Amino acid sequence: MKLLSMNEIREDFPILNRKINGKRMVYLDSAATSQKPVQVIKAIEDYYRNYNANVHRGIYQLSVEATEAYESAHDEVASLINANPEEIIFTKGTTESLNLVAYSLGNRIRDGEILLSKMEHHSNLVPWQQLAKRNNLKLKFFDLTDDGELDLSNIDELINKNTKIVSLTHVSNVLGTINPVKEIAKIAHENNALFIADSAQGVPHIEVNVKNLDVDFLAFSGHKMLGPTGIGALYGKKEILEEMDPFMFGGDMIREVKLNESTWNTLPWKFEAGTPNISGGIGFGVAAKYIKRIGIDNIENHEKNIVKYAYDKLNEMDNVEIYGPEKRSGLISFNLKGIHAHDVSSILDESGIAIRGGHHCCMPLMEHLGIAGNARASFYIYNNEEDVDTLVKGLEEVKRIFK
C-alpha cells in the first residue's frame, strides 16, 4: 500500500485551511477531539442525502441500504482492533461504554475489590466509585512513579483473590503514558478478575489487538479517531456479553416481547436499544477504514517523531515543566512556571494555536501532581514540525507578555 505524504493527508482535512485571528490555524487538541477527513464528512452527508432511513426495521430499499451501511461499520471497527463484529457494541462514546460495563456487571459483582489507578479519566473512575458504593466493593489504586508511570512494585498485593475488576487507562490523556495492559490483564485473569481498558487515547494512536491483549472489555470513542462525535464502541468478549444483562431496554434490543416477559436480541444488538446514531455509526466505520488505509503503524511512527521533536523543543525552553515519561504517546502536558494554563491557552489562541488548558477530567491526578491543571498539546496524523515550531514561538510570546 502506498504511504501517503504529509501534504496528501493534510489535504483530506478541510478545516486545516481555516485562519484564526488572521493566522494559520494550528490544531493541537486532538486528545479532546480529532479533526475529520473529508471522506468521513462526505459519508455522513451521503447517508442523509441518499438513503436516510431507520435500520433493522424496514424491508424497503432505503432501510436495507442504511442497515447494510450501519452493520458494515461494525465490521470496519471490529477489524481495526481484531475483534469479531458481534463483540462490538456502538455507544455514544468511551464514557457510555464504561458506564455500560459498570452497570451491567453491577448485578453480578459484590463484596470484593476494584483496582484502578491515580491517572484515570473521570469516566473510568466515577462509574466504579458508584458501583463500589452500591455493592460493598473496596476501591484500590495503583500509585505512580516520579516520571508518571504505573508503580508496579506492589502489584501482587494490589491484585489478589479479592480483586473482582481491574480497570485502567490504556494511554493517559494527561501524561501520555502507555500502560502495560497485556501484562496486567494476565495477572488479573490469574486471580479470576475481569480486566477493562479505557482505550480512548489508545485505539486512535497505537496498534490495538484485543485478542493479543486478552482484555475482557475495551472502550473507545469515534470522535478521537477521525470520526463523528456521539459515537463510540465497547468491545467485550462474547461469552461475557452473552451473560450480561442489557444496559437499556426498548426497541431493537429484543427478540420477543409479551405483556409480562421479554427475551433479548443477539449480539451486539442486545445492547443497542432504540434508534441508533446511524449517521455517526457510518462515519465511525469510514474513520476506521481511513486509519487502516494510512496504517496504524505509520500513525504511531509519525506521532513518535512529532512528540519527540516537541519534547526536545519544550525541554530546551526555560521555566517549562513537562509531566509524564519521555517515552509517551502523541501528547505533551506542561506548565510555564508562574503562568496559569488557561492564560497560556488564551494567549496562544490569539495566534491561531489551539491547545487545552485545565485538569483534563483528571482531578485526582492533578492533586497527585500538586497542580491545579496544566496545558496540553496533543498531536495526530495531520500535525507536522511546523506546528510545533509555531507552538514554541507562541509560548515564547506568552513568556514575554508575563515577563
Assign residue 305 the CATH number of its domain.
3.90.1150.10
Q: How far apart are alpha carbons 118 and 96 in whole angstroms? A: 21
Is 339:374 a contact under the CB 8 Å cutoff? no
Span between the terminal Cα atoms of the chain, in Å: 51
Per-residue three-class SS string for the chain? CCCCCHHHHHHCCHHHHCEECCEECEECECCCCCCCCHHHHHHHHHHHHHCCCCCCCCCCHHHHHHHHHHHHHHHHHHHHCCCCHHHEEEECCHHHHHHHHHHHHHCCCCCCEEEEECCCCHHHCHHHHHHHHHHCCEEEEECECCCCCECCCCHHHHCCCCEEEEEEECECCCCCCECCHHHHHHHHHHCCCEEEEECCCCCCCCCCCHHHHCCCEEEEECCCCCCCCCCEEEEECHHHHHHCCCCCCCCCCEEEECCCCEEECCCCHHHCCCCCCHHHHHHHHHHHHHHHHHCHHHHHHHHHHHHHHHHHHHHHCCCEEEECCCCCCCEEEEEECCCCHHHHHHHHHCCCEECEEECCCCHHHHHHHCCCCEEEEECCCCCCHHHHHHHHHHHHHHHHHHC
Asked if residue 336 has pLDDT above 70, the reply is yes
Spell out the residues 6+ positions from residue 347 whose beta carbon is closer than 8 angstroms to its own: 394, 397, 398, 401
Cα separation, 43 vs 63, in Å, equals: 16
36 occurs within a structural domain: no
Count of C-beta atoms within a 10 Å radius of residue 183:
12
What is the residue whose three cell numbers read 493566522? 23
Last residue of a domain, one of 293, 328, 356: 293
Q: Are residues 336 and 353 both part of a single domain?
A: yes
**Whole-number pLDDT of residue 1:** 38
Q: Are 208 and 199 in contact (CB under 8 A)?
A: yes
Spatial separation of the C-alpha atoms in residues 88 and 133, rounded to whole Å: 29
Verify that 277 and 338 share a domain, yes or no.
no
Q: Could you tell me if 243 and 256 lie in one domain?
A: yes
Query: Residue type at 243?
Result: E
Per the annotation, the verdict on 362 as an active-site residue is no
Mean pLDDT value of segment 264-283 = 96
| One domain for residues 65 and 108 | yes
113 in a structural domain: yes
Residues 264, 171, single domain; the answer is yes
Same domain, residue pair 174 and 233: yes
C-alpha 174: how far from chain center: 12
Provide the angle, in degrees to the nearest 10, between the axes of the packed helices 278-294 and 296-316.
80
**Grid coordinates belonging to 158:** 494490589
Active site residue: 16, 361, 371, 392, which one?
361
- Reported as a pLDDT band with limits 50, 70 and 90, residue 403 is confident
Report the CATH number that the domain containing residue 271 is assigned in CATH. 3.40.640.10
Q: pLDDT-based confidence at 261, cuts 50/70/90?
A: very high
Check: CB of residue 303 under 8 Å from CB of residue 213.
Answer: no
Binning pLDDT at 50, 70 and 90, where does residue 89 land? very high
- Say what the pLDDT of residue 4 is: 66
Residue 35 inside a domain? The answer is no
Residue 98: CB partners within 8 Å, gap ≥ 6?
123, 124, 127, 167, 196, 198, 219
| pLDDT reported for residue 136 | 92
Q: Is there a single domain that holds both residue 206 and residue 304?
A: no
Q: What's the mean pLDDT in 356-367?
A: 98
What's the pLDDT band for 389 if we cut at 50, 70, 90? very high
Q: Mark which of 293, 308, 339 sits at the end of a domain.
A: 293
Last residue within a domain, chosen from 249, 271, 293: 293
* Residue 241 and residue 222 in one domain: yes
141-182 confidence digits (pLDDT tens): 999 999 999 999 999 999 999 999 999 999 999 999 999 999
What does the pLDDT average to over 116-130? Answer: 98
Are 262 and 161 found together in one domain?
yes
Q: Is residue 71 part of a domain?
A: yes
Same domain, 125 and 245: yes
Dihedral of alpha carbons 251, 97, 15, 303, sign: negative
304 and 287 inside one domain: no
Per-residue pLDDT reduced to its tens digit, 206-236: 999 999 999 999 999 999 999 999 999 999 9
Q: Are strands 331-336 and 353-354 parallel, antiparallel or unpaired?
A: unpaired
pLDDT tens digits, one per residue of 8-23: 999 999 999 999 999 9
Identify whether residues 127 and 254 lie together within a single domain: yes
Place of cell 476506521: 288
Residue type, 89: I
Q: Whose CA is closest to 97, among 222, 234, 200, 228?
A: 234
Domain count, the chain: 2
1 is a domain residue:
no
Q: How far apart are CA 352 and CA 213, in angstroms?
A: 40
**Domain residue limits at 22:** 6-30+295-402
Please provide the average confidence, as pLDDT, over all residues in the chain.
96
Question: What percent of the chain has a predicted confidence (pLDDT) above 90?
Answer: 95
